[in-house]
Amino acid sequence: MLEVGAEGKVSLEGLDFGPPGLSAWTIDVHFNPAVVEMLPPPPLFGADAVRVGGAAALGRQGDFTLASLRFRCVTQGETDLTLQVAVLRDGTLGDPQPIDAQLIDGQVFCGIVPTITPTPSITPTPSVTPTPGGSFTPGTPPVNTPATGTPQGVVIYGDADCSRVANAVDAVLILQYAARLLAGLACADEADVNGDLAVDTLDAALLLQFLAGLLPALPA
């Protein structure tokens, strides 16, 4: 329990990811802004949610921390930390595949005695049998839906795979290309998000910052 006005931290964990691991993630964490405020306030995204995103050229395996969220209690009460997945893809080289996962939401208690709650986490759903001692509810894999209303011929900066939408999957492909794990990209010009005539890790970082609402637009 935190007192009103006090600051705290909640970690978002990835658990039990097997090969080829987790390579691209975009996850929105929704909360009640009447009870807590995020620190620093989420720019360009809204007062009641924060977006967590990342990418790894080689998928992350096992247990790991996806993000640490800082917040301040603004009034007495409790709020759920509700997870919503936009992108969750594995580490398949050149073609990251959707991961079906179990989401465990968290809670924050301000000025009241808390009940026992789990740490917010994301765990891949087993494809054959559930892990002993736990139960899993299959979810719906995220769908990479092409952007609607975007005319052909209009450049979508960051769209490395020519899907007509830029997301964390493109950041993974850019990182894989920069690490010389891929020979080329389907849309190399679009992958050069800062216009310096090179596709490298800086482009992946700028794309992730844009997807998290930290940059207003691309090219950066």
The model's pTM: 0.77
Predicted local distance difference test score (pLDDT) of residue 62: 95
Spell out the CATH class of 7-124: mainly beta
Predicted local distance difference test score (pLDDT) of residue 17: 95
Helix (H) or strand (E) holding 15: strand 7-30
The string of pLDDT tens digits covering residues 177-214 is: 998 899 999 999 999 999 999 999 999 999 998 998 88
pLDDT > 50? residue 171: yes
CATH superfamily placement of domain 144-220: Dockerin domain (1.10.1330.10)
Q: How confident is the model at residue 125 (pLDDT cuts 50, 70, 90)?
A: low
Query: Rounded mean pLDDT of the chain?
Result: 83
Predicted local distance difference test score (pLDDT) of residue 133: 30
- Please give the distance of CA 101 from its chain centroid, rounded to a whole number: 13
The CA distance from 217 to 172, in Å, is 19
Predicted local distance difference test score (pLDDT) of residue 134: 28
The CA distance from 67 to 53, in Å, is 9
Q: How confident is the model at residue 142 (pLDDT cuts 50, 70, 90)?
A: very low
| Residue boundaries of the structural domains of the chain | 7-124, 144-220
